[in-house]
Structure formats: structure tokens, C-alpha cells
Amino acid sequence: MKIGFIGIGKLGLPCAEVIAKKGHDVTGYDVVNVKSDKVTVCSSIKEAVKDRNIVFIAVPTPHHPDYDGKAPTAHLEPKDFGYDIVIDCIREANMHMNKDQLLVLISTVLPGTVRREFAPLVTNTRFVYNPYLIAMGTVAWDMVNPEMIMIGTDNGDITGDAKELVDFYKTIMENNPRYEIGTWDECECIKVFYNTFISAKIGLVNMIQDVAEKQGHINVDVVTNALAKSDQRIMGPSYMKAGMGDGGACHPRDNIALRYMAQNLGLQYDIFDAIMNAREVQAKNMANYLIKIAEERSLPILLNGIAYKPGVPYTDGSYSLLVGHYCKEAGYHCIEVDPMASPQKGPFTAVALLAHPTLYCYLSEGSVVVDPWREFESKKLEVFHYGNTR
């Protein structure tokens, strides 16, 4: 295929060259002078995109140098990435491309950016968002051995533009990666949260190191090695389905106790304060969602499942009761239904939060089900899948 690269710097050039090594005809352009014996370096974007099947934009989305992390940044005002370079390149490429060509952006951006900032600029050609999982020093290898390939289109369709890109990647990949195809916004989320999951994991692991230094009698490697081998919950796919928050008699109170420990040891930071605050704000957000529907329909709110998990009578640390707390603050005293923790049976006409995946009571016609697990379907009841805004 004929491939073009706009941006052949530290990341773009190794990607372009490895594509050329796989037998494709690759042109490239950069604002600085670049030499390559594998890529045809052009003097303009117009020249680089001419007659290309697919054109990749691999330019930076930088922050101010003060935000690069080599000096403290926590005290600085939060800022979005800088998109001026991307915008300029998209505008120029769009001028010289047509509908037979595909323009692909690989740069990291925040969720919503493509739809808001970039897509309106693409009028002459077709556009896909395709962020890469590549790192300095191993770019060429990462390019053809990725953990996954993210392909974002306007509506998340797996055919058309997405299929064209998949078919291209199958000609260069060495490890048969999985393809995650979604909307522009979903792929923006996958990329940026992939990176920040790593940051959060490192921060938590390094906290154990600090505790070892402050507390004594602890080899951090003994602790982290034990956790690293724990692949049933913390190192596997468990707890990776968004829904109800952490609950039970242990987890929330463990976070509270670790807040005390961090303060008592003088660590000077409190990861668990942020975790507990997020848990509570997320519950309030869910409560506000229920209240909005309840007010629109003039219905009471029902909590389907008040035990902290299905099949037990224990309500300590119940996340649904925390959601109910915020509903009560707003004047809604919730109906509580649970086969092991509440005697109420129904029938009810209500806005029901499906805290547990099984509906425990009969809901009359006119009721609404809010399902944070996005699995419940009904031909008789209106169902909202909380967290799905496609």
C-alpha cells in the first residue's frame, strides 16, 4: 500500500520505517530535516499525502515544559494537552486529500477532543482515531507487537474505515494483536486510561516502599511479589466491569485505616483520601441520575439489593445504601428490596436501581430500571443502561 506519515520525529520515523520494511511504499514529512533510507522524505504535507491510501498523523500534543514531570507539578493548574500542531496538520492534509484516502491520527488526546476539535476540520477525506501503545527506545518493536490496536470511528462501526485499517495492520503485525474498535471517544478513553492505570499502579506500589522505610521490618519486594502473583482479582480482569462501587465490611474500612497509617507515618500524601472521595462522589452521581428520572416520572426510588453483594444478609459497606443516603439527602426515602436483607416484596411502581443483577421484586407497568451493569433487558419495562451514552 501507499502510506504517508505527517510527523517523522522520535516516534513517527521508527513507525514509518518499520512499515516500509514490511514492503509498503512510505512517504513522510516533518518540519525539521529528517534523513531515512527507507522512507521517502517530502518537502511538504501536500507532497507527502499525494496518492497515498492511508496517511498517519504522528505529531506531538505537548504540554508546557513546566508540566513534563521532572519537577513538581501537583501545585500547578491542570491543563489539557496542546492541540495546535495536530489542528494545523489536519487542516493542511484535508486540503490535499480526497474521499478515497484515509487520514489517521495516532496522537494521545483527551476524551471528546476528536469529536469537538478535529472531526469538523475533516471535510474532504475520511478520518480515524488510532492511538498507539509505543514507548521511546522500543518504538519499532512496539509498533508491530502491540498489546492491542485501538481504532476509533464516528459511530464505532467495525466495517468500512475500521476494516480498511485492520486489513492494513494484518500485513505488518508480528504478534496477532487484538483489535478494539469503538467510537472516537471510546478509543480516546482506552488510550489515556491505559496510561493512567499504569501511573496509579506505580504510585500504589511505591507507597508500599515508603511504608517499608517508615514502618521497618518490611522488605517491599516480599509484599509486591506476593501481590504480583495474585491473578484472581488484582492482576487479572476481575473488577474491570464498571458498575456499583467497592463494598463490604473490609475494603472501605481498609482504605480509611490506610489513611490513618499514611498520616501516622508522616508520608505527606494520601492516595486513599482520593479513592474514598471518588467512591462517595460516584455514588452521589448515581443518586442524582436516579433522582432526575424519579422527578421526571413522579416515582419513588427503589434499591434492588441492599446487601453489600448478592446472596448475603450483610449490609456493612453497602454501596447501594450509600447511593440511598444521597437520595435521602435530596428528600427521597428509598424502598429497600433484598431477599436476605429486607422483608419488602412489592409489587412496586418505581425507579429501580439494579444494584444486584437479578430483579428481586415485581415492578408494575410504568416502572423504570436503571442498570449500572448494562446487562438487564425487558420488553415491558423501560431500562436505562447507566454508563452507556452511545
**Last-in-domain residue among 156, 184, 212:** 184
Q: What are phi and psi of 128, to 5 degrees?
A: -135, 145
In a domain, 190, yes or no: no
Q: Averaged over 212-234, what is the pLDDT?
A: 93
Domain closes at, from 122, 154, 184: 184
CB 97 within 8 A of CB 49: yes
Domain that holds residue 346: 276-385
Residue 207 in any domain: the answer is no
Q: What is the mean pLDDT of residues 211-215?
A: 93
Question: For the segment 348-377, what is each residue's pLDDT rounded down to a tens digit?
Answer: 999 999 999 999 999 999 999 999 999 999
- Domain assignment present for residue 93? The answer is yes
Percent of the chain with pLDDT over 90: 83
Q: Based on the domain organization, do 158 and 298 belong to the same domain?
A: no
- Residue 269: which pLDDT band, with cuts at 50, 70 and 90? confident
DSSP H/E element including 106: none
- Residue 307 falls inside a structural domain: yes
Mean pLDDT of 217-222: 94
Q: Is residue 44 part of a domain?
A: yes
For residue 247, pLDDT beyond 90: no
Specify whether 285 is located in the same domain as 177: no
Task: State the pLDDT confidence band at 59, using cuts at 50, 70 and 90.
Answer: very high
Question: Looking at the predicted structure, is the pLDDT value of residue 301 above 90?
Answer: yes
Asked if the structure places residue 13 within a domain, the reply is: yes
pLDDT at residue 72, rounded to an integer: 86
End-to-end alpha-carbon separation of the chain, Å?
33
> DSSP state, 165?
H
At residue 272, does pLDDT exceed 90? no
108-163 residue pLDDT tens: 999 999 999 999 999 999 999 999 999 889 999 999 999 999 999 999 999 999 99
Residue at a domain's end among 184, 206, 223: 184
Calpha distance 295→284 (Å, rounded): 16
User: What pLDDT score was predicted for residue 186?
Assistant: 97
Distances (CA, A) of 17 to 14, 24, 160: 5, 10, 26
Q: Do the Cβ atoms of 270 and 262 come closer than 8 Å?
A: yes
Cβ burial 260-295 (10 Å sphere, 16+ → b, else e): eebeeeeeeebbbeebbeebeebbbebbebbbeebe
Q: Which three cell numbers stand for residue 327?
A: 437520595
What is the arithmetic mean of pLDDT over 8-17?
Answer: 96
Sheet holding 2-6, edge to edge: 40-41, 25-29, 2-6, 54-57, 102-105, 126-129, 148-153, 178-183
- The verdict on 169 and 282 lying in the same domain is no
Give me the CATH number covering residue 362: 3.40.50.720
Predicted pLDDT at 246: 86
Q: Are 350 and 362 in contact (CB under 8 A)?
A: no
On whether both 41 and 178 belong to a single domain, the answer is yes
Instruction: List, edge to edge, every strand of the sheet that includes 351-353.
Output: 335-337, 301-304, 351-353, 368-371, 382-385
Q: Looking at residues 300-307, what average pLDDT do you find?
A: 97
Q: Is the pLDDT of residue 250 over 80?
A: no
Q: Is it the case that residue 261 has pLDDT exceeding 90? A: no
Q: Which of 11-25, 181-195, 257-271 has the lowest mean pLDDT?
A: 257-271
Residues 142 and 289 in one domain: no
Kindly state the cell numbers that stand for 341.
Answer: 436483607
Q: Has residue 373 been placed in a domain?
A: yes
Q: Are residues 26 and 130 in the same domain?
A: yes
285 inside domain:
yes
Residues composing the chain: 390
Strand 102-105, strand 2-6: pairing: unpaired
Q: What is the pLDDT of residue 345?
A: 85
pTM as predicted: 0.89
Q: In this predicted model, which residue has the larger pLDDT, 22 or 250?
A: 22
Co-location of 47 and 170 in the same domain = yes
The CA angle 167-240-249, to the nearest 5 degrees, is 175
DSSP state of 238: T
Domain co-membership, 290 together with 173: no
- Total count of domains within the chain: 2
